[in-house]
Structure formats: C-alpha cells, structure tokens
Structure 1
Amino acid sequence: MTAPIAPVTLRADQARTRLHELTVIDVRTPGEYGSGHLPGALNIPLDQIRRALPEIRHAADRGDVLVVCASGARSENACKLLAEQGIPTATLAGGTSGWAAAGHELQQPAACDTRAGWSMERQVRFTAGALVLVGTALGLLVHPAFQILSAGVAGGLVLSALTDTCGMAALLGRLPHNRPRAADLDATLTALRGR
C-alpha cells in the first residue's frame, strides 16, 4: 500500500515563476472563473473533478498540476480528493484573491465568452441574508414558527465555520447559472488530454 500523497501549497510568487510549466485547474464556478482567472487556467468546477479524473491524471503524468479557487479552500478540497486518487497536485495559497493581492494579473475571457455572475461567497451571503430576513418577517407577521428558518440558517453558518465546508454553496453550485456548459467542460477536458 502506498502512502497518501500530500498536497503542496505554493505562494503566489512561487506559482507565478512556474506558471509556464504548470497545468492550472480553476475549480470555481464558470461565473467566478469568467470574472478573472490565472493566465492559462482551465475551468473544472469542484463538483466536476471526479468526471475529469482521467484527464487530470494524464496532465499530472506529464507535469505539475496547480489547483486554484477564490481563497484556497475549494482547491484544498480538490487536492485532497485528487491525492486520494494518487494524483499529485499543489494548491495556490490565498487563491485568485491572493494572486491579485500580490499584484499579479488575472486573465479575463473576451466579453462575448463571459457569463456575468457573482462569486460563490457573494451568492451564499445573499441567500443566507435573504432567508434570515424572510424567516424573521414571516415570524413577526404570520406565525412565530417561521423564525425556525432564520435559526436554521444561523445554525448552518456556524456549522459551516466549524467544519470549513458550506452546504449552501454546494446547493447553489447546482443552479444552472453556476454549471459549466457541456461544450465548455468537454473542451476543457480535451485541452487537458493534449497537455
């Protein structure tokens, strides 16, 4: 039995100097990816990583793979999943936010190629806030039992912080505007096979 592969973390400056030799996989939603990504990054949303395992393995056999997201949390999860499959990867410390904060440029697709969208964090904040407001309003105006909705959202946020996971983000990620177009994902997988 082989020992599990430990993911490596690269700082923005380290990744920048090696960018020409890395296969960069961005695991954010297509909308987040379209708002700006590392130069040359390929978009495979986190929930599609298992589908892309053969292509990612092929890319890792040919060189180093860097997995990125907005802050580093989703890419760390992707790296753990890939390590379980025996695929060595690295994650970018601070994600694309850290990359941009270090003064490195983000690439944006041509205007006709982008889908306007909010970051997953912004979608979660909006949805959680809206549910709390609705639960509170219905609890005051209709029946106090509706306040359970607000309490449930608060409990979910606490659980999310304690476990460093986000069930609401997982649910929102399944909405049509957060899903990759089949042709886009197929093109990305084809590009990975060619690397």
Structure 2
Amino acid sequence: MSLPTITPTDAGRLLDKGATLIDIREADEHAREKIPGARNLPLSKLDDADLAAHHKPIIFHCKSGARTQANAPRLAVKLDPACEAFVVDGGLDAWRKAGLPVATDRRQPIELQRQVQMGAGSLVFVGTLLGLLVSPWFFAVPAFVGAGLITAGLTGFCGMARMLMRAPWNRQLYSAPGRAA
C-alpha cells in the first residue's frame, strides 16, 4: 500500500488542525535542519516504533520526498488502517520552497553522508593531482577510496563514515545515549 502525497501548504493546514509531522531522516540530518514541530523517527528505527496508536492524521517527510515515497509501504504497515497518512510531496526542499518555516542549526555538523562525500571527493582529487604531478604511486589513493565506496555500497559498512563519527565535531551527536555509535 502506498501513501498519498500532500502539498507542503496543505500539510501545513493539517498540522494546524493537530496532525503529527514525522521526519524519517536520520538524527544527524534532523539535528541540522528541520521543520519546526516535526518528530524525528529515522527509518533505521522504524521497526521499533509504534505508530498504530495514532488516530490523528500523520504526515511523513524526508529531504526531497524520494526516500519517503520509496518507503511508503513500510510506513503504511506501521499505521492503524483507520489513520489518515500522507507524504509531503517534495519533502523538506518543497516545504522551504513554499515559504514555510524551516529551523536550521548551523552549530550542528553537516550530515554524515555529505561529510563522507566531501572526504572521498577530496581524497580522490588530491590523490589524482599528486599522481599526475608528483608520482604515479599516489594513484593508489583514489583506487583505495573507490574500493572503499564499492565495499560500502555492497555491504552497507562505510569505514570512512565510522571514522568521521569519531571526529571531534561529530562526537557529541554520535556519542549521546540512544544514538548510533
């Protein structure tokens, strides 16, 4: 079963009438930028959640709407069949574009996924430059990063993400009780 989409403006009206807004992004994404009043329920913790007790409408969102749409059947199964539920069409990006309020906390670290992308991209770029300008042995750096990304894609384990979780700017977010470690 899929969940119907709702425009950000219509979602805002439903929220004013008492609907519940649930952000399915991970905690690091929600900590940096969120719709005020949204409850964070990451997909990684969905199996532990009890949404069946909700009788007011529930509105789910992510950053672009794609993650929520892809997981709509999983979300729908967790709900009471009588509960109205929707997906914000376009997610947080469309919410912002509609001029609705978004709370941003720049003191929070950039999302871990983006940190991995910046780290991997930097290593590939610098390794390639050094390979061209200094020694061909430096081409091992982009090869190693590429192998790491392939491994992360195949297994779901990302060594770079594990290292970045322990970086000083991420320690508070990832060492708090109940957070990923």
Q: Please, what TM-score do these two structures have when normalized by structure 1?
A: 0.63
Query: Which residue is 1:148 aligned to?
Result: 143
Query: Which residue is 1:58 aligned to?
Result: 53
Distance in 1, Cα, partners of 2:2 & 2:124? 39
Aligned length: 164
Structure 1 residues 78-120: Cα deviation after superposition (integer angstroms, max 9, x where no partner): 4232234566632212211211111001245xx7xx9612135
Please identify which structure carries the higher helix content. Answer: 1
Superposed, 1:48-127 pairs within 5 Å as 48-52=45-49, 54=50, 56-59=51-54, 62-85=55-78, 89-107=85-103, 116-119=108-111, 122-127=114-119
Query: Which residue is 1:16 aligned to?
Result: 12
Distance in 2, Cα, partners of 1:11 & 1:129? 35
Deviation at 1:38, TM superposition (A): 1.8
Larger Rg: 2
Deviation at 1:45, TM superposition (A): 1.9
Query: Which residue is 1:25 aligned to?
Result: 22
Structure 1 residues 143-176: Cα deviation after superposition (integer angstroms, max 9, x where no partner): 65554335547879xx8xxxxxxx589x849946
Query: Which residue is 2:39 aligned to?
Result: 42
Flag structure 2 segments of 5+ consecutive residues without an equivalent: none
CA pair 81-98 structure 1, distance change in 2 beyond 3 A: same
Task: State the AA in 1 paired with 2:68.
Answer: S
Q: Give the number of the structure with larger relative contact order, counting CA–CA contacts within 8 Å between residues 6 or more apart.
A: 1
Task: State the AA in 1 paired with 2:59.
Answer: L
What SS does the corresponding residue of 1:75 show, helix, strand or coil? helix
Residue pair 2:19, 2:56 contacting (<8 A) in 1 also: yes
Distance in 1, Cα, partners of 2:139 & 2:112? 31
Q: CA RMSD in A?
A: 3.9
Distance in 2, Cα, partners of 1:153 & 1:63? 45
Task: State the AA in 1 paired with 2:118.
Answer: F
Flag structure 1 segments of 5+ consecutive residues without an equivalent: 160-166, 185-195
Q: Please, what TM-score do these two structures have when normalized by structure 2?
A: 0.67
